Amino acid sequence: MHHESPIQRRKTRQIHVGKVAIGGDAPISVQSMTNTETRDVAATVAQIRRLEAVGADIVRVSVPSMDAAEAFKAIRAQVETPLVADIHFDHRIALQVMADGVDGLRINPGNIGSLDKTRLVVEMAKDKGIPIRIGVNAGSLEKDIQEKYGEPTPEALVESALRHVSILDELNFHDVKISVKASDVFLAVGAYRLLSEKVDYPLHLGITEAGGLRSGTVKSAIGLGLLLRDGIGDTIRISLAADPVEEIRVGFDILKSLHLRQKGINLIACPSCSRQEFDVINTINALEARLEDILEPMDVSVIGCVVNGIGEAKEADIGLAGGDKRSILYYRGKQVDRVENVNIVDVLEKRIRAEIAERQAARNDA
């Protein structure tokens, strides 16, 4: 069940954050941000590696001080994932992390000092090919813009973003991506839609401060889903008050649901009812836990009965339709076996990993 997405993506310029292309025809990238104390190098490196393991394309690290910048140098030396440094107010920090191998900056040119200081940062970024993200948040708009609009509005966020863009334009710097985030879904969606009409820079999508794992996932799925369906968005970050690893998982789940990008197992499962022939919920929970290390795209259908189970199983790479004591196993659309219900999890995991090994062998032989 491999569907092409009907979404026509907005045409944007392309930039590179390290090895990751953003914009143009590049896949929509998924990123997260560390929540460790950056000066704790070991903890930050460990968290970045956990994010790498679940497929993070880019990781952002807050660098609030020169001490943190020193720690960043050590962090950069120990991880392979492209790193973006999040910096406010002090241009010296930006200069330091660029010297130490950062792949991207998140700054707002209007708040890191005088134009001369901004010019120093921009010139070094230009020399090193380091892109800059302009990150506007509804909660931190400039005072004059707040007074002009009275409250955060889409127009206010976009005006703030364009103000920062104009500074970089004047310095002939165009290696830029932009975000206009808000915690309110309608405000964020309105701002991104308005901004997309005014610039061709790649856009970094996010519903900021979205909340905990459940509520933040719902908010992000609705907000980003509306924008992505419009073809807007080149990279995404899910902002959750939760383990950052969950941000990556949710991000890829959103992209998978819109057929915009496939990574990992796409589990198709019924919510279960009295027709179920085995415990669907516990089976899915067990499979998710066992298969979380897999990044290879694959559709796996697990349905508790034959009413919808056979049809779903035939469309998946691997599918299972519940039966009395023994369930029907499908592989590439064809029935291949019957599985004792007590062995479903073990059999499916074995079959999935065998399929991945077969695909990898075929790629190696090609």
Beta carbons within 8 Å of 328's beta carbon, 6+ residues apart: 306, 309, 310, 313, 320, 321, 335, 337, 338, 339
CA–CA distance, 323 with 276 (Å, rounded to integer): 8
The answer on whether 123 is annotated among ligand-binding residues is no
The answer on whether 358 is annotated among ligand-binding residues is no
- What is each CA distance from 76 to 61, 98, 330, in whole angstroms? 10, 11, 45
Beta carbons within 8 Å of 364's beta carbon, 6+ residues apart: none
* Residue 138, both tokens: 């509804």
* Kind plus residue range of the DSSP H or E element containing 85: strand 83-86
The answer on whether 305 is annotated among ligand-binding residues is yes
Beta carbons within 8 Å of 233's beta carbon, 6+ residues apart: 28, 192, 203, 205, 224, 227
- Asked whether the beta carbons of 128 and 171 are under 8 A apart, the reply is no
Cα 121 to its chain centre, rounded Å, is 27
CA–CA distance, 158 with 205 (Å, rounded to integer): 14
* Residue 352, both tokens: 């999935």
Closest CA to 52 of 295, 303, 261: 295
Binding residues: 270, 273, 305, 312
Binding residues for [4Fe-4S] cluster: 270, 273, 305, 312
